[in-house]
Amino acid sequence: MKPLPLGASIGIIGGGQLGRMLAAAAARLGYRTIVLEPQPDCPAAQLANRQIVAAYDDPEALAELASNCAVVTYEFENVPVATATKLAASVPVCPPSSALEVSQDRLVEKRFLNAQGISTADFLPVDNDADLAAALQSFAGAGVLKTRRMGYDGKGQRVFRQSSSEHAGGVYDAMGGIPLILEALVTFEREISVIAARGMDGRLAAYDPAENVHRDGILHSSTVPAAIAPATAEAARQAAFAILEALGYVGVIGVEFFALPDGALLVNEIAPRVHNSGHWTEAACIVSQFEQHIRAIAGLPLGETARHSDCVMENLIGEDVLRAQALFAEPDLMLHLYGKAEWRPGRKMGHFTRLRRAS
Ligand code: AMP
């Protein structure tokens, strides 16, 4: 495929900070962007050329997007699959809708991963209290109960520990009476993630794994390099590549892993988009994950993934944004704010990456 001509428009479904950073990267490479997002003046629209203010499944909006864009991408994995397939009839959609299907349902996702020979936590579907009681029994009383769909940042989750006297009765209804999955409780040593990409020519690239710390289910920090053996880092990269190839993927993907004390890896989840744990790439690499994604979907060659500095990325969540003034004073620190006027508890307001330069 020939690269997208300069000045062509890229459609972005979703108007959050990831869309904003994609729009900025696209602009720097000479492309225009049109964001589809129901919330007016969303973070992405502040930097895009145009916003279509409509629901993600609005037929007229989708027709408008398809007729004005040379390619359409998305910044979150809960884009309706029907939206992606409808658009794909008239405009290339990258990553493919198969990536949405797999990542929207934790049960489908785990079965897909296991079918590729990639290990995950043990899991069982839960569709009522009796299923939950049986599943807990087979995991020796410990597990993480999650909604199969629409869960993110630890929302829609409940942890059972062996020591707790909690019973399964009533839990299914309390979780909303929707399809659930019980995962075995993993005793991991650390959590890591790999940001990888596949270009239109099938080439693969990956950044070094980041070591991630979560607080209350939300990413707090990503440190690079992760304190893992080179063989573990390579295994993580290879797993990400296997996922990209199995999906016939084009674009950037985020793959989250649990690293076990013996160095073995279990995939926790995949995100078919640029990923919060890859934000460090904008400060520590020549080509960020955002530019890499635009390069991939525009049919350009993938860029360099080597980093020039070790670093730590930290999210500014809720009132953390008030730290911005102090952070401006620090050398070797890149601050990135998302243009959200008001902070609320749990809301991602920005992030910063502190470089660790060799002295
Ligand atoms: P998730 O929404 O699946 O990414 O989960 C959010 C966080 O909860 C993860 O990053 C882990 O810190 C923790 N977690 C999720 N699943 C498990 C599990 N099966 N065992 C142990 N911890 C987990």
Which of the four pLDDT bands, split at 50, 70 and 90, describes residue 157?
Answer: confident
CA distance 87 to 106: 25
Is the per-residue pLDDT at 106 higher than 90? yes
Class of domain 122-183: alpha beta
Distance 257 CA to ligand 1 centre (A): 10
Question: Which residues of the chain does CATH 3.30.1490.20 include?
Answer: 122-183
Write down the mean pLDDT value for the chain.
Answer: 95
Mutating to test ligand 1, I would choose from 107, 110, 268 the residue with most ligand atoms within 8 A of its C-beta, which is 268
Q: Is the dihedral of CA 254, 248, 297, 85 positive or negative?
A: negative
If one counts every other C-beta atom within 10 angstroms of the C-beta of residue 231, the result is 9
Q: Whose CA is nearest to atom 13 of ligand 1?
A: 217
Mean per-residue pLDDT, 34-39: 98
Shortest-distance Cα residue to atom 1 of ligand 1? 154
Separation of CA 34 and ligand 1 centre (Å): 34
CA of 319 to the centre of ligand 1 (A): 24
Burial per residue of 281-313, b for 16 or more beta-carbon CB atoms within 10 angstroms, e otherwise: bbbbbebbbbbbbbbbbbbbebbebebebbbbb
Calculate the dihedral angle through the C-alpha atoms of 14, 19, 20, 25, rounding to the nearest 10 degrees. Answer: -150
How confident is the model over 240-250, as a mean pLDDT? 98
Report the percent of the chain where pLDDT is more than 90. Answer: 91
Long-range contacts of 355-359 (CB under 8 A, 24+ apart): 355/283, 355/284, 355/309, 355/310, 355/311, 356/309, 356/310, 356/311, 356/312, 356/332, 357/309, 357/332
Distance 267 CA to ligand 1 centre (A): 10
pLDDT digits (tens, 9 = 90+) for 343-359: 999 999 999 999 997 66
CATH top class, domain 190-357? alpha beta
CA distance 284 to 213: 19
> Per-residue pLDDT tens for 61-74?
999 999 999 999 99
| Spatial contact of 182 and 134, defined as CB atoms under 8 Å apart | no
pTM listed for this prediction? 0.96
Nearest-CA residue for atom 8 of ligand 1: 217
How many whole angstroms from 293 Cα to the centroid of ligand 1?
26
Q: Tell me if residue 227 falls in helix, strand or coil.
A: coil
For 43-64, how does the pLDDT look when each residue is reduced to its tens digit (9 = 90+)? 999 999 999 999 999 999 999 9
pLDDT at 140 over 80: yes
Surface-to-core class of residue 133, CB atoms within 10 Å of its CB (0-12 exposed, 13-18 middle, 19+ buried): middle
Instruction: Give CATH 3.30.470.20 domain extents, the chain.
Output: 190-357
CATH class of domain segment(s) 9-93:
alpha beta
Ligand 1 site residues (CB inside 6 A) read: 121, 144, 151, 154, 183, 185-186, 191, 214, 217, 268-269
Q: What is the pLDDT of residue 168?
A: 78
| pLDDT number for residue 124 | 98
**Span from the CA of 127 to the centroid of ligand 1 (angstroms):** 20
pLDDT of 300 reads 98
**Cα dihedral sign, 308-312-315-316:** negative
Tens of pLDDT, residue by residue over 287-334, are 999 999 999 999 999 999 999 999 999 999 999 999 999 999 999 999
Res. 153: pLDDT tops 80: no
